[in-house]
Each structure stands twice: as structure tokens, then as C-alpha cells.
């Protein structure tokens, strides 16, 4: 069966990816920061192996990638944070330390993850997807959150460059928006649940092909402008 690597798998969208791929018989390598307390993740049935990895840590990611033996068909760089709360995200009162940390998680984290797993994905001529946000689209500026938006916008640009580097290796790369999802991050007013989001994202992932420009798609397959 195919192999998938998922970061931030202990809750929310990452946990649902883990459940759905495991239910379909995939070999799932799921990481989180604290496996000992990841009760829901540890309870997922199927071929699931749980690893410790903070995506801001190069050594954690090296150990994670080293422990996953064999080709990886799909890497899902899912882990992310909203960043500083409230006014810390707004112009005039920006929390620059919080921005620094958010950038390390949301922008550099998926890139570190992709670099760590590149040899394994290349072996499978697999796929690399980053879970980004529509809030990283330059045209989508309806509400504030400078920090979250800019880190996802930076992720989109970086993944677009990764697509160009990976297309000649036969690797498909994409930036995917999961919708507004009811998770800890999305809150209770989100428009869809994790089941709908992840089912849609999996269909979108199925259709990905290597190409020089990374598609920026939502969970329904709709293109989002950069
Ligand atoms: N929910 C939405 O409406 C929505 C919309 C657009 C985009 N997204 C994106 O979708 C992805 C998943 O979000 P979600 O809604 O599932 O959020 P969530 O429920 O808050 O889960 C976030 C996950 O990321 C992990 N994480 C955070 N910092 C990490 C780090 N430094 N190293 C490793 N793991 C880390 C968390 O682990 P801990 O439990 O250890 O904190 C958790 O597993 C994120 O990239 C988010 O930006 C979500």
C-alpha cells in the first residue's frame, strides 16, 4: 500500500488525514510534538506509526525522516499555527517576536519538512502538499491578521519555487486551502467539519501532477488567486 507522512497529526485536520488514510489501508507515518499525550492519534487503527517532531527543529525532522524507511508517496506538511492573539497581529501593535515564531512554524516548517523527506518522496516520484490558507492570498484581505496571512503568503511563494525544483524529478507539489474548518484553529463557527475538508483535499491530491507552477487550490478543487 502507498505511504503517507503527515505533520501535526494529533488533532484537527492532521488527525483526520491520519484516520482517513489509515482506514483506506495506507501506511501512515504521523508526527506530533508530544506523542505521549496524543491519545486520539495513538488510538487510530491501522498501519499507523507515530513519531515526535517539532517542525521548527531540524534535528527532529532529520530523525523523523531517518526513521521512515522506504519511499514516501505523499508528504502532507499540515502543522501550522495562527500566531499571536488579538492586537498583536494588527498594524500599530505588531508582536514581532510572535511573528518570528509564526514564520518559523508556518513558512520555514513545511520547507524544512519537505527538504528532510525529499529523498524519500523522490524515490516514489511522489507528491508534496502544504496546507496553507486562503488568508495567504494577496487579494483576500477582508480581515486583519497580518502575521498569519504573511506567513502563509510566504509559504505559497516558497512552495511555488519547490514545485519548479521538483517537477523535473517527477514530484507533484501543491499548496492547498482546507476551507474554514471547525478545529481548534478554525473555531466552532467554521463552515465545514474535518471529514468534509479532508475528503475533498484527498480528491484534489489524487489529481495532482508534476508541474512547474504549484497549484493553489481549495478542498473543492477551486483555484485560489495568489
Ligand atoms: N481550521 C481552519 O479553518 C484552517 C483554515 C485554513 C488553513 N488551515 C491550516 O490547516 C492546518 C491545520 O490546521 P488545524 O485547523 O487542524 O489546526 P489545529 O487544530 O490548531 O492543529 C494544528 C496542528 O499543528 C501542530 N503544530 C503547531 N505548531 C507545531 C510545531 N512547531 N511543530 C509541529 N506541530 C505543530 C499542532 O500540534 P500541537 O497540538 O502540539 O500544538 C496541531 O497538531 C494549519 O496549517 C492551518 O494553518 C486551517
Given a cut of 80, whether residue 119 has pLDDT beyond it is: yes
Given a cut of 90, whether residue 85 has pLDDT beyond it is: yes
For the chain, what are the domain ranges?
3-218
Given a cut of 80, whether residue 142 has pLDDT beyond it is: no
3-218, superfamily in CATH?
NAD(P)-binding Rossmann-like Domain (3.40.50.720)
Whole-angstrom distance, CA of residue 14 vs CA of residue 113: 15
pLDDT of residue 69: 82
pLDDT in tens, 29-70: 999 999 999 999 999 999 999 999 999 999 999 999 999 989
pLDDT of residue 143: 74
Indicate if ligand 1 lies below 6 Å from the C-beta of 32.
Answer: yes
Banded model confidence at residue 141, pLDDT cuts 50, 70, 90: confident
Which residue lies with its CA nearest to atom 46 of ligand 1? 80
Indicate if ligand 1 lies below 6 Å from the C-beta of 84.
Answer: no
Amino acid at each position: 500500500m502507498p505511504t503517507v507522512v503527515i505533520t501535526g497529526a494529533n488533532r484537527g485536520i492532521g488527525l483526520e488525514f491520519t484516520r482517513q488514510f489509515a482506514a483506506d489501508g495506507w501506511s501512515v507515518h504521523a508526527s506530533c510534538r508530544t506523542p505521549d499525550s496524543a491519545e486520539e492519534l495513538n488510538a487510530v487503527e491501522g498501519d499507523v506509526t507515530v513519531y515526535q517532531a517539532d517542525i521548527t527543529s531540524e534535528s527532529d525532522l532529520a530523525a523523523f525522516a531517518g526513521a521512515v524507511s522506504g519511499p514516501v508517496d505523499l508528504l502532507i506538511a499540515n502543522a501550522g499555527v495562527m500566531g499571536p492573539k488579538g492586537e498583536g497581529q494588527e498594524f500599530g501593535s505588531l508582536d514581532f517576536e510572535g511573528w518570528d515564531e509564526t514564520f518559523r512554524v508556518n513558512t520555514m516548517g513545511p520547507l524544512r519538512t519537505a527538504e528532510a523527506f525529499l529523498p524519500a518522496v523522490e524515490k516514489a516520484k511522489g507528491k508534496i502538499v502544504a496546507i496553507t490558507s486562503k488568508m495567504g492570498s494577496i487579494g483576500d484581505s477582508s480581515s486583519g491578521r497580518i502575521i498569519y496571512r504573511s506567513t502563509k503568503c510566504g509559504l505559497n511563494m516558497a512552495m511555488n519555487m519547490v514545485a519548479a525544483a521538483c517537477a523535473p524529478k517527477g514530484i507533484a507539489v501543491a499548496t492547498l486551502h482546507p476551507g474554514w474548518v471547525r478545529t481548534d484553529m478554525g473555531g466552532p463557527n467554521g463552515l465545514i467539519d474535518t471529514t468534509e475538508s479532508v475528503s475533498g483535499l484527498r480528491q484534489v491530491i489524487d489529481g495532482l501532477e508534476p508541474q512547474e507552477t504549484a497549484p493553489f487550490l481549495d478542498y473543492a478543487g477551486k483555484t485560489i488567486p495568489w
